[in-house]
Amino acid sequence: MTGDYPVPSPVANESSALQNLTPHRRRATRIGLVSGGLGAYWPQFPDLLPQLRESSRYVTERFTALEAEVIDVGFVSDPQEAGAAAEKLRVADCDLIVIFLATYLTSSMVLPIAQRSQTPVLVIDLQPSEAMDHSSFDTGKWLAYCGQCPVPEVANVFRRAGIPFRSVSGYLTQESAWQRINQWVHAAGVRGRLRYARHGLMGHLYPGMLDVSTDLTAVSTTFGSHVEVLEFDDLRELVNSVSEEEVKERIELARGLFTVDPSVDDGDFAWGARVSVGLDRLVDEFDLDSLAYYHRGLAGEQHERLGAGMILGASILTARGIPMAGEYELRTSIAMLAAQAMNAGGSFTEIQALNFTDNVVEMGHDGPAHLAVSAGDPLLRGLGVYHGKRGWGVSVEFDVRHGPVTTFGLGQDPDGSFVFITSEGEVVPGPLLAIGNTTSRVDFGGDPGLWVDEWSQTGIGHHWALCVGHRAADFKAAANLLGLEHRHVAL
C-alpha cells in the first residue's frame, strides 16, 4: 500500500484491516509557548519566581501531552527577554502561540511576541488554585494569583494594534479551562493542516452545479494551501501501470475492509481495485492531501470507466486521512481535511430526504465515504447505474456511527470570502435505503424542514462533511484563527 496518512483513532472503526492502513502525518500541529511575569517582583518576593516556574512547568506538561509539537521558549521577565523569545517563535513558524501570564506583566512584554511572529496568539492566565487562602496570604503569595490582572491591559493594546485577542482564564487544574484551551489547539491543527495542504482538483464541474465552482486563488490566499490541477489522463496512465498481482492484493484488502454484497460483479470489483492502486500512485506522485474530482465520460470509454471506478479507492484513501470528494467539490474536500485535522472524520454528504414522522434529516451521498466513522462494517454494493452520472460499478453503503455529529462545510460569499458553517445533531437508528449510499438519519432537535431552511440560508453549498461528535466550537475557533466568519444553525 502507498500513502501514509493517519486513521484518526478517536473515530476509527473497529475493523483490524482499517487499523492496519499505513499512517501518515504531513506536519504536527506546532504550538509556541512562552511564560512570563514582571521581573521587578523577584528581588522583592524571593519565593514568588520559583512558584511561578512550577506553574509554568505544569502548563508545559499539559501542552506536551497533546498531539502537538511544543516549542517552549521559557520564562520571560522583561521586554528584552520577551523580544528574544519573540524572535525564537518567529523562526519556529508556529500554528498558535500561547502566552501564559503567570502573574502581572506589562503589555510591552506581550506585544512584540504577537507582532513579530505574525501568528495567532492565545493568552492564558491560570492561577494556582480555585481561590486564595486569605487568612495566610501576604503580597508575594497574592501575586501568584494575579495573572488575570494584565488581561484587560493586553486586550486593549492588542485591539489598538489591530491584533485579534483570545484568552482563557481559570486555574491550573481546572479541566473546563483546559477544554477551552484544547479547542484552540484543535483550531491550530486545522490552521496548520490547511496552511501546508496540497489539494488535487481533477476533471471538471458537474454540469450545471454553479454552487460548486470555487475560486482557486482564494483557496491559496485564504488558507495558504496549494491547488494542483490534474487531468484524468494522469490517473489513466497510472492505472494502466497497475499489475494483476497488485489488483489481487487490493481486492484482498477491500474484503477485509468491507462486507461484499452478492450484487458486486467480479469484473467491476477488479476494476475498482485497479483504479484504487492507481489513485494511491496519483496521491504519491503529486503529493496530495485531498482530491476533488468528476468526469462525465461517454459511451463506456476509459475516462468514463475511470470516473465510475473511483469509489473504492477514494473511500480507502479517505480512511487513511486523504479525503476524496466527488462532483468536483473542492470546498467540501477542504472541509473534510479540516475535520480530519481534529480527528472528527468527515464524510462526503448532502441532503437525501426528510422524515417528518421521526423528525430526522436523511443525509449522505453516493461515492467515496469515510470508512473510519461507519457505524458498522461498510458494505460494497454493485450498481448497474449511478444516478445522474455515467458509468456503473461498486459503491459504498453505511450509516455514520450513532450519536452526536456535526455538519461542517465551507460557503463562499459574494465578495469571494470563505465562511465556516456548522450545525450539531445526533445520528439515530432507523430504516435506511439500500442503494449503495452512505445514508444517516440526523436529528437536529426540531422540524427537519425548518432545519433545511435555516441551513440553506447560511450560504452552504450542495455538499458538506458529516463529522463525529459535537465540534462546532472547535470549528468556530478554527475560523477565528483563519480570520473567517463562522455561522451556526441551531433549532
Residue ranges per domain, the chain?
9-25+196-489, 30-192
- Tell me which residue of 361, 341, 344, 342 sits closest to 352, measured CA to CA: 361
Q: What percent of the chain has pLDDT over 90?
A: 74
**Tens-place pLDDT, residues 118-170:** 899 999 999 999 999 999 999 999 999 999 999 999 999 999 999 999 999 99
Three-class DSSP labels, 137-152: CCHHHHHCCCCCCCHH
In tens, the pLDDT along 349-368 reads: 999 999 999 999 999 887 67
Average pLDDT score over the chain: 90
316 has a pLDDT exceeding 50? yes
Question: Given this structure, which CATH class describes domain 30-192?
Answer: alpha beta
For cell 492564558, name the residue.
124
pLDDT of residue 293: 93
> Could you tell me the sign of the dihedral formed by the alpha carbons of 58, 61, 66, 69, in that order?
positive
CA dihedral 359, 348, 405, 401 (to 10 degrees): 90
pLDDT digits (tens, 9 = 90+) for 266-279: 999 999 999 999 99
CATH assignment, 9-25+196-489: 3.20.14
- pLDDT greater than 90 at residue 21: no
- Residue 339 gets the label, from left (phi > 0), alpha (psi -120 to 50) or beta, of alpha
Q: Is the pLDDT at 256 greater than 80, yes or no? A: yes
**Residue 393: pLDDT band with limits 50, 70, 90:** low
Q: Which of 86, 102, 103, 82 is nearest to 94 (CA)?
A: 86
- Dist. CA 157–CA 165, nearest whole Å: 9
Q: Provide the 3-class DSSP secondary structure of residue 263.
A: coil
pLDDT at residue number 11: 47
Question: What angle (nearest 5°) sits at the alpha carbon of residue 170, between those of residues 165 and 176?
Answer: 100
- From residue 151, how far is each of 62, 106, 121, 177, 181 by CA, in Å? 22, 10, 13, 16, 16
Angle at alpha carbon of residue 463, lines to 462 and 467, rounded to 5°: 150
d(CA 112, CA 185): 22
CA distance 374 to 11: 9
Q: What is the pTM of this model?
A: 0.92
